[in-house]
Structure formats: structure tokens, C-alpha cells
Amino acid sequence: KRGYVVICWDPVGQGERSQFWDRARNRSRYNLVCGEHAILGNLATLAGTSLTRWMVWDGIRAVDYLLTRADVDPKRLAITGTSGGGFQSLWIGALDPRIAVVAPSAFVTALPARMANRIFDDPDSDPEQDPFGLVSSGVDHAGLLLLSYPRAIHVSAAVKDFFPIEGTRKTMREVAAIYERLGLGDRIKLKE
């Protein structure tokens, strides 16, 4: 009988992966919640790229590593995370078909709701969440979730969160309607 194998990593600019460490003060020059990857993300945007590229690559490489292990069943991979981890699980799940279940938490919402928070509630910003061209092309979380089709999707959301629940519900209605139309309505779930 197999148990569970879990891999967890800090994204660039958080936790143990500080990019702006101040040795004299023994801490980052910025906060390690979102401050560092906001700085990195803004610099990447100015350079014509996105921090999304490296954050997603980290996750895909983590999957590569898991698949080298004899105790991992390659048909039973799932990805989950909350907030920034929800961002990572949504993107990595959308782009890596080896993942059977995509389960972002406290991240999925809709474009208008996201933009309102970006303007008023998030002074650090998270530029990796909206890579250059994504918003202007009209790509929203519904489109990213649909890249997971026909795999299972389980979205967890808080009713009172930075990511507005109204946007989460709208996005999930859109994606669930397509899953149901294609006969796979039992593979998509929202838990509030």
C-alpha cells in the first residue's frame, strides 16, 4: 500500500528564497509575504518577461522530481496551494497535463474583482498573477481552469477573502457549465 508523498517549496522571494537579504540586519530588505516577489515581478515586467515563468517552472520541475520516485504513482498526482500557492496550483495544473487533480485554494476569482483589489487593497501587488498581455487578451481564471480539462478541478474559496467570492462563483459557474455540457460535471467542485 502506498502512502502520500508531499513536496512543498517556497516561491522566489518568499520564505527561504529571499533575493534581497540584508546580512547586517539579518532579514530581507522587503517583507517576505509579497514584497520581494512584487519587486522582482515589477523588474521582470520592465525587462519584458514575467516572474510567472520561473514560478511555474519551479512547480513543473517539482513534478519531474516526484516522478523519479518509486513511491509515487504517476497517475495520481494532485496539486494544491493557498493564495500564492493557489496561483501556482492553477497555473502549474493548467500547463502540466501529468497532474490529475488541480485544487487551487483562496485564489480563483474573476478579472473585474481582481482588478478592483489590485487598485485599492494590495499595496505590494503581485505582478506575476497577471503576466503582460494576459488581461489585455481577456484571459481570466476561467480560461486557465479550462486548460485543465478533462482533469478534475476542486476550488476552495473563503467567503471573506482578498480574492472576492463573487468572482470565484462566477468563474466556477462558467467552467462548471462547460464541464457539465461535456458530460464531466462530476469532475468539478467549489467548496466555500
Cell numbers that stand for 33 in this block: 509575504
CA 144/CA 188 separation, integer angstroms: 14
CA 99/CA 149 separation, integer angstroms: 11
Q: So what's the pLDDT on residue 189? A: 98
139 backbone dihedrals φ, ψ, rounded to 5°: -80, 130
Q: So what's the pLDDT on residue 118? A: 61
Query: What secondary structure letter does DSSP report for 152?
Result: E
Q: So what's the pLDDT on residue 119? A: 56
CA 153/CA 65 separation, integer angstroms: 23
Parts of the chain with a pLDDT under 50: none
